[in-house]
Amino acid sequence: MASEYTVGDLVAEFLAACGVTTVFGIASVHNIPMLDAIGRRNAIRFMMARGELGGAHMADGYARVNGGLGVIFSSTGPGAANAVGGLIEARFAGSPVLHITGQTATRYADRETGTVHDAYDQLGMMASVSKAAYRIRSPQNAIGVLTRAASEALSAPMGPVSVEVPIDLQRQNIERPAILDNFVLPLAQPRTPSGAELDELAARVMAAKRPLLWLGNGAKQAGSAAAKLLDMGFGMVSSFNGRGTVPEDHPRNMGGLTGNGMPLITDFYKTVDLCLVVGCRLRGHETGDMNLKLPENIIQVDSNPAANGRTYPNQYFVCGDAKATLEGLVSRIEDKLRVAPGYPDEFAALKRAAQQEFISTLGAYGTFSEQLRGVMPRDAIWVRDVTQNNTTWGNRIFPIYNPQQNVYPVGAGIGQGLQLGIGAAAAAGERKTVVMTGDGGFFLNVGELWTAVQEKLDMVVIVMNDRGYGVIKRIQDATQGRRFYADLQSPEISKLAALSDIPYFRCERAETFGATVAEALAIKGLTMVEVDMTAVGEFPPYYPFNQKP
């Protein structure tokens, strides 16, 4: 009797074997056999996005909170192209996203015959925005291609990987691979530095008296060892994407206050004699395109050898896993490191002063971080879009306690927050998800709001409504001295919420922000809060745009 097991069944079973329990996407003529297999098996939750762009962002947000694979199923051609923006953001963020798309039948692929959805060089398009891209070319190599793709997505440096599955192969019968009985992904093991490398690293660190730790996304698994370095007297900052690796209520963890545009911090950097950068690119976005003056003695630790001196020159480089490297360092310097007397207290005082100075520039919005933190559960997921509020207090001073709580557009693309939040909420379990977006970003992909409604997600969506592109206006003010094309006319958010019976709350005074959000948080399910920024007051110029040339 011929096997009734198809490549579509293989895709569905493979994902379950990888521990995937939720996927995102849209049903299409070129992925129906795979989605049919997912539906029949009923082992994976399929969340229907309203567009592939939204679905790709959802898969990204899910991966950041869940820690495993985020999966997006797209249509072919235009549908695969729609997913591109989400894959680019996942690449920025280092998120392990597996993008599975269809392809026209094998005999027509790459021949420009005009079959449905037949895009020119779809695989090349996917390869240009993904960490890697593959096509399944026969039923027999399906398990191998899928295994390689998932393994690459989850191997450092993590990122999105795309796989094309031609429609004729999806339907083709095969023998079920026996390897799926006890399947384990063959993940590449992160490199542990040699003893000599760790000895040299320890010697250089022990020579320092005023050390600074700078953590990035690649150090998210190294929180315990990093916290021990702080206990020894290190001060700490982090990239926006590395925040929460050490809880930010630690008195010497400045979090996202990296100093860009703040002389108070950059002057202090002149007194630092070691900057230990771990799993961080020192990105242009956070260093003013590498114009931020950092301590000269930079030691860099990264699992990617190409990171060596990529943005800032270093005095020493260790290619290795952040967790293994910092654990090896801690074991060598514990009870031996002697920082300068008073340095830990100086750094704690710097944090307090820098936060106060930063808050003092925010006008009516200066209390928003404290108000929100006061009502938000400590374990809630904190998702943001690109807004003036996130560019300031959201990214820099709002306390984050765990790296999986921290979700935002690393590539600074507008309109991604809602979808990232939907994916995050799908992975959050009993934790609450709070999304902060601006009106411009919210309305860019507002259709995905109904994905959250349909999936009955527990999330609060805060819309900071200034009736325009506030961030763009601020940049125009600073660079051009005039504004064009940044004012928006949009539907009333209260009426939009009423369409689907979403509980809606409105804030018109700065001092009621926290209390208003607390009302929304008290309700299980999807709620919305609109902050009328025209009533609260115009957002003031912020760092670095508030500095005189």
Please give the chain's pLDDT, 549 residues, in tens.
Answer: 346 999 999 999 999 999 999 999 999 988 999 999 999 999 999 999 999 999 999 999 999 999 999 999 999 999 999 999 999 999 999 999 999 999 887 776 777 776 766 777 899 999 999 999 999 999 999 999 999 999 999 999 999 999 999 999 999 999 999 999 999 999 988 899 999 999 999 999 999 999 999 999 999 999 999 999 999 999 999 999 999 999 999 999 999 999 988 999 999 999 999 999 999 999 888 898 899 999 999 999 999 999 999 999 999 999 999 999 999 999 999 999 999 999 999 999 999 999 999 999 999 999 999 999 999 999 999 999 999 999 999 999 999 999 999 999 999 899 999 999 999 999 999 999 999 999 999 999 999 999 999 999 999 999 999 988 888 888 888 888 898 888 888 889 999 999 999 999 999 999 999 999 999 999 999 999 999 999 999 999 877 777 765
Asked if domains 7-180 and 361-536 share a fold, the reply is yes
Q: Is the backbone peptide bond immediately before 211 cis, with ω within 30 degrees of 0?
A: no
Taking Cα atoms as reference points, which of 238, 254, 271, 287 lies closest to residue 544? 287
Assess if CATH 3.40.50.970 describes domain 361-536: yes
Cα–Cα distances (Å) from 355 to 146, 350, 393, 399, 513, in that order, read 47, 8, 9, 11, 20
Q: 228 φ, ψ to 5°? A: -65, -35
**Beta strands, E only, 109-166:** 132-135, 161-166
Q: Are 318 and 193 in contact (CB under 8 A)?
A: yes
CATH code for the structural domain at 195-355: 3.40.50.1220
What DSSP state is assigned to residue 253? B
Q: Is the backbone peptide bond immediately before 177 cis, with ω within 30 degrees of 0?
A: no
What DSSP state is assigned to residue 322? H
Cα–Cα distances (Å) from 207 to 273, 323, 331, in that order, read 9, 22, 16
pTM for this entry: 0.95
Q: How many CB atoms lie within 10 A of CB 137?
A: 14
Element of type H or E holding 477: helix 470-479
2: its two tokens: 């011929």
Q: Are 273 and 295 in contact (CB under 8 A)?
A: yes
Taking Cα atoms as reference points, which of 451, 394, 444, 447 lies closest to residue 422? 451
Q: Are 127 and 162 in contact (CB under 8 A)?
A: yes
End-to-end CA distance of the chain: 79
Sequence spans of domains, the chain: 7-180, 195-355, 361-536
d(CA 99, CA 49): 14
Q: Which amino acid is at 181?
A: D
Query: Given 3.40.50.150, 3.90.1150.10, 3.40.190.10, 3.40.50.970, which CATH number is that of 7-180?
Result: 3.40.50.970
Q: Are 413 and 89 in contact (CB under 8 A)?
A: yes
Query: Given 3-state DSSP classes, what are the helix, strand and coil percentages for the chain, each rounded to the nearest 5?
Result: 45, 15, 40
